Structure 1
């Protein structure tokens, strides 16, 4: 007799195992502990086989009969239903292993080495919020260029984000960054024999996203530098004034300056040694200090010499350092809003030093720029110290000269 839902709901545990039949080999095997399992008994090439469909009530009567019918249909083709199910599980397992999500996770683990927590966290968020939900389950080799175009377009149209000025804009930057990640993932896949071409790099974002031409950090022209230096000299806050003056003299990144510690300064050898963990590229950096830099640091010593940081915060306890926006706000107050940034001093110095004929490698090393690929991207921070020492003293003398004369002039290099 066929089973019914009412009969199944009324079942009570028995002292011994029992089997209820539904016809066609479909049974419900009941144990004394209350466990009830759907079974399909059949023969394949004359040998008895038993296939399970799950436990009741998680798998109801209707679902069990549907699975039973599928198994009978497979058996009718001459195949073993259990063998086909194992094959399906294997294919699903292989699909997971070869999914874009699996690739993304392998790439992310490799990509994250040596990067700071903020960068890693931002990338993880883009993976979890944008990339994996759209493409994660797709097999790697099935993905086409159009899939990545669709992903980036959907991201761009999904909302707004704030630009550096705090204005809400379409999240084009996020879309571009996600597309770049996908390109890097397929580069990783190609390198590890998982793919042969990169569909994420087959089209430029500017062809379908509302991309804007990238611009460098705002900076003044060389001819405007003398007036800027004089304006900085008149700034009312000594620590901020000294910080901005140092930016012009040593042209490090803003974060590297404001996070500077007295323990990094070697007055005897006139060197500033920045440890790897504070550098963008995670390589230690040595900066030769001109006489002018030493003089400013000695003045700062009178102000913050008892603190860990050279530029300690005036509003936050626990010896935190100056805010990243302090120098930018000072430049804004001096009338250089959207005209000059702390980072802009790097570009100004690089441009003028190149125009004056200084060695490109010496300038790039001073800027802590890494060029090339792989091993060639690494450099010895102690390289070219004598040459950079002369260059940095020349640069400081040059700034004094144009500050005094009020115009940009050439200058003689110190004798080698």
Structure 2
């Protein structure tokens, strides 16, 4: 990101209009801590960086072009006057209960209030989804004027487009903004809270086809080993049955995430669906596979780099296409099916459900008791992952571990 300049005005109206979105968020400085932030979705947000009690702080001043360059500079100057009086402008703004606050004003405050506690991925998604579905309709409205029928109609419009998963996510974002606004005293009623859930369609539960018959698992594994495409795709396919990762989590594996000494894969929250760090104990078989792959590494940070560009990983589509080329149909097995195959068989073999669910990195729910901890059940998970690799090898006659011995080792 660009450094902030405190000496010269860098922005003009023409420059602002010509700023184009890039793959990553970036900022262009104006002066005295004022900058414009350009997001990948094209939104442009004013930011003011200042120091309060010797601590660097950044606050939102609104979005461009709703807030003009002149308006942003005036808001920055007002902040500077507050600082001279020992007042934190950000806190003063948060405490404001002005009836003129728009939905966009409260959205920006909500983002500023939460972004330090969220991953960059979560923040980016909240901004993008709001800019796509909420702000075009609600942004300029005084937030106190937004009523339940307004939210119902907006959400039903998303439902009518068939985007049931997006409906749930946007509803959650809107609920968070209104809850925050109630808490700050800007409004007294959350217009999303009392919308009954039964007016919205439920997203159908998606069950991925899979193979759970032990007599069919071995031929599947043997087929995967026969793949004759790229080395990276073949390696990922052979590792997939052992690690229970989602396709995008698997293909994006980084060498920095693999700890050979501890025999653990540590995946950061930003790469996980549930935005929580995830640990994957590596069996001896998987450690050996990764060591073998490292011998043929072409450099770069990815374990499975694209054959065309080592700065990018292979894609989930490449795994899916490889499975189809092996003659395995969609209604028989998919890239997600490795997870359901492991879950079903491990439950049948007598492993504890909580341990299996934790290793699958599922959300907290009935099957996971107590507070979430990425290291919870780790000793049991290490044993389970080794036993599972042994079991897969046994199915292919690679080891002398029998299913009955596997079950007996659990008790």
Is TM more than 0.5 here? yes
Secondary structure at the residue paired with 2:98? Answer: helix
CA distance 1:377–1:106, shift in 2 (3 Å): farther
Conserved 8 A contact 2:119-2:269: no
Given that 1:149 and 1:208 are in contact with CA atoms closer than 8 Å, whether structure 2 keeps it comes out as no
Secondary structure at the aligned position of 1:222 is classed as coil
Using the TM superposition, name which of 321-330 and 195-204 deviates more. Answer: 195-204
Cα distance change on mapping 1:387 and 1:201 into 2, 3 Å: same
Query: What SS does the corresponding residue of 2:137 show, helix, strand or coil?
Result: helix
1:300 correspondence with 2:293: yes
| 2:152 counterpart residue number | 149
Alignment of 1:368-387 (within 5 A): 368-369=361-362, 371=364, 377-381=371-375, 383-387=376-380
Counterpart CA distance in 2 for 1:105 and 1:329 is 42
Aligned residue among 206, 210, 213 for 1:215: 206
Distance 1:277 1:329, change over 3 A: same
What does residue 96 of structure 1 align with? Answer: 100
- How much has 1:250 moved relative to structure 2? 1.0
Task: Give the unaligned 5+ runs of structure 1.
Answer: 1-92, 161-169
> C-alpha separation between the residues in 2 aligned to 1:192 and 1:355?
51
Q: How does 1:59-98 map to 2 (within 5 A)?
A: 94-97=98-101
Q: Secondary structure at the match of 2:409?
A: coil
Partner of 2:222: 230
CA distance in structure 2 between the partners assigned to 1:197 and 1:402 by the alignment: 60
What is the rounded CA distance, in whole Å, between the counterparts of 1:391 and 1:193 in structure 2?
A: 51
Would you say the 8 A contact 2:227–2:234 is kept in 1? yes
Contact 2:232/2:305 (<8 A) preserved: no
Segment of structure 1 superposing worse, 170-179 or 384-393? 170-179
Change (3 A) 1:172 1:324: same
8 Å CA contact 2:181, 2:187 repeated in 1: yes
Deviation of 1:394 after TM superposition, in Å, equals 0.9
Given the alignment of the two structures, is residue 347 of structure 1 paired with residue 350 of structure 2, yes or no?
A: no
Who wins on radius of gyration, i.e. which is larger? 1
Structure 1 CA distance, aligned partners of 2:373 and 2:356? 13
Question: Counterparts in 2 of 1:282-293, with a 5 A limit?
Answer: 282-293=275-286
Question: 1:393 corresponds to which residue?
Answer: 386
CA distance in 2: counterparts of 1:280 and 1:172, whole angstroms = 18
What residue ranges of structure 2 are gaps of 5+ in the alignment?
A: 1-96
Structure 1 residues 262 and 179, CA gap change in structure 2 (3 angstroms) = closer
- Are 2:403 and 1:412 aligned? no
What is the distance in 2 between the residues matched to 1:136 and 1:121?
Answer: 18
Is residue 181 from structure 1 mapped to residue 185 from structure 2 by the alignment? no
CA distance in 2, matches of 1:204, 1:287: 39
SS at match of 1:199: coil
Give the Cα–Cα distance (whole angstroms) in 2 for the partners of residues 347 and 155 of structure 1: 30
Structure 1 residue 396: deviation in Å?
Answer: 0.9
Relative to 1, partners in 2 of residues 1:186 and 1:221: Cα closer, same or farther, differing over 3 Å? farther
1:265–1:347 distance in 2 versus 1, CA, 3 Å: same
**Residues 350 and 187 from structure 1, CA distance in 2 versus in 1: closer, same or farther, beyond 3 angstroms?**
farther
The 1:278–1:94 alpha-carbon spacing in structure 2 relative to 1, beyond 3 Å, is closer
Conservation of the 8 A alpha-carbon contact between 2:99 and 2:186: no
Quick check: 2:323–2:334 contact (8 Å CA) kept in 1? yes
Counterpart check, 1:135 vs 2:138:
yes
Partner residue in 2 for 1:251 = 244
Question: Does the CA-based 8 Å contact 1:103-1:185 persist in structure 2?
Answer: yes
In 1, Cα distance between equivalents of 2:199 and 2:241: 39
Using the size of structure 1 for normalisation, the TM-score is 0.61
TM-superposed CA distance for 1:279, in Å, is 3.7
Q: Which residue matches 1:327?
A: 319
Tell me what 1:264 maps to. 257
The CA distance in 2 between the partners of 1:148 and 1:194, in whole Å, is 18
Question: Alignment RMSD, CA only?
Answer: 3.5
Contact 1:235 1:241 in 2 (8 A): yes
Decide which of 98, 105, 108 is 1:105's aligned counterpart: 108
**Total equivalences in the alignment:** 304
For each residue in 1:217-272, what CA deviation from the matched residue of structure 2 results, as whole angstroms up to 9, or x when unmatched? x2304125344323212222343222122111011232332222334333344333
